[in-house]
Structure formats: structure tokens, C-alpha cells
Amino acid sequence: MSGILQGRVAIITGAGGGLGAAHAKVFASEGCAVVVNDINTEAAQSVVDEIIAAGGKAVVNSSDITNYDDSLNAIKQALESYGDLHIVLNNAGVNRDRMFASMTEQEWDTIMAVHLKGHFCISSHAVHYWRGRSKEGKPVDARIINTTSGAGLQGSIGQSNYAAAKAGIAALTLNQAAELGRYNITANAVAPSARTGMTSAVPEMAERMAKPEDGSFDHFAPENVSNLLAWLASAEAESVTGRVFEAEGGRICICDGWRTTAGVDSGAAWAPAEIGAAMKALLAEEVPAQKVWGT
């Protein structure tokens, strides 16, 4: 198979279903050899079988992305199977939705482990591999692609754990881009809006995102997001780094992050009683943030 990812090798986490499976199939259709990572090996094997049947290259990997030592095996498998690694696409995720006042420690920790730590583990080992190649004078053209969410960019009622983890992933992406460019590694994140197993489990979302029966453009097809990620993973995207994108249907946006305003400056320490007037001036000049989802 030929395409913009011909000759490249990717690890895609959580690729046994939903967005991850779509990413794996689109990447493979563009010529990429794919390590399909998922703890559900049966689901991962089904994706691999479909890719191979279509003429692509793929293998199953069941490394636990929340376990630092075990996640190294994904990198080892990529190198043993295909001789190199160019792309880590961090996609795996779970939900443990709960209002903050009712959230348990376990619900908090599970989301942080799968999303935030999960984005760290495999990427860390991949970076060690790429940095080593760079120091040896070998060519590196590597990609880290992270998955954030509108919940992380603006908050989401009933998802404080998920929102906090996804916000952390956005900030992590900026740091990775700033630190890893010297090794020819780019880092970008995407906040997708697409039909997945998680959205299908919510009746109102399932109805809104349903595939049209009339054959018209499938706005919420996960492949719409995958196509952007395939381009970001390609050699053509070598100069694009440190960005957070939103992708929905045929629309691609760059998310404009936190920015410092001009502010007010007294030139000296504020007395507590003086801050009320300063705050009034600050709030009068602010550009309101996007509203938290669900408000």
C-alpha cells in the first residue's frame, strides 16, 4: 500500500476500537506499519486482521500503557517487527464521569493513570530511542500525537477528572514540542469530535452523531479525525509542532490557548482594599472564555 505514510512505523494506543481503530486503518491505508496497542487483544486482533486483509501491515500489542516497564515492550515490538519507529499516537482512554462533590479517589486515579500517565509512558520510551539515534548522528523524523478534548480545553460538567487529565495532556504537548525539537521530534495534540463507543453509550449523543441513512457526508465519522492525524504523522508535517487542533467533520481548527492580558499595574504593592477597583477594570476588559461544557 502506498500513501503519505509509506515506510513509516506507528504505535497507536487504544486501537482495538473507536477512534483508535479508525486511526490504525487510515494510517495503514496510507502505507504505515501499525502496532495496534490495546489491552483487549481480541479487539486488537480484529483490527489487525482487517488491515492485513486490505494489504496493510499491522501487529497486535497488549502492553499496559499505565505501566512504565511494560509499555517499553510496545517500542521493542515495533523495532523487532518493522526495524524502526517514527510515530507514537496516544489515543487510549476511559471515562469515569461523576460530579466533583461525589467523585471517589479511585475514579480520579483511574483517569489520571490511563490518560495522563498513559500519554507519558510509551512516549518516554520512544523519546529515549529517538534521542539515542539523534546523538549517534542517525536521521530522526519523529512524531508524538496526543489526544486531548474540549473538556480539557474549557471544562465539562460532571467530568472534572477527565477535564483535568485532558488539560494536562494539552500542556504536556506544549512542553514536549519545546523540549524535543532539537532531536527532530514534533509534538501536537488533537481534540476530536467523532462517533465512538463512548459517545454511542449516551442516548442523546448517539442520536446526534448517528451515521446518516441517506448516504450524505458522515460528519461524525471517526475517519474524519484520522485523516488529520495521518497528515500530522507524515514527513510533510515536520515543521508543525506545539499545536493543539480541534477536528470535527470537515473542519480543522487551531485552539488558541491561555494568553496573558495587559493587566493593571500599580507600580507598587496593592493594598487589599484597592484590589476591588482593579478587579473591576480587569473584568471589564477581558475577553470571556468559552463556556464550560454543560453550562
Q: Which residues are annotated as catalytic?
A: 149, 162, 166
Backbone angles phi, psi at 243, to 5 degrees: -110, 150
> DSSP characters for 97-150?
-B-GGG--HHHHHHHIIIIIIHHHHHHHHHHHHHHHHHHTT----EEEEEE--H
Nearest to 202 by CA among 169, 159, 166: 159
Cell numbers given for 144: 508524538
Backbone angles phi, psi at 270, to 5 degrees: -75, 135
Q: What 3-state DSSP class applies to 33?
A: strand
Asked if 95 and 152 touch (Cβ cutoff 8 Å), the reply is no
Sort strands 87-89 and 9-13 into parallel, antiparallel or unpaired. parallel
Asked if 140 and 278 touch (Cβ cutoff 8 Å), the reply is no
Q: Rounded to whole angstroms, how far apart are CA atoms 71 and 77?
A: 10
Nearest to 8 by CA among 37, 36, 32: 32
**Positive or negative: CA dihedral 42, 43, 46, 48:** negative
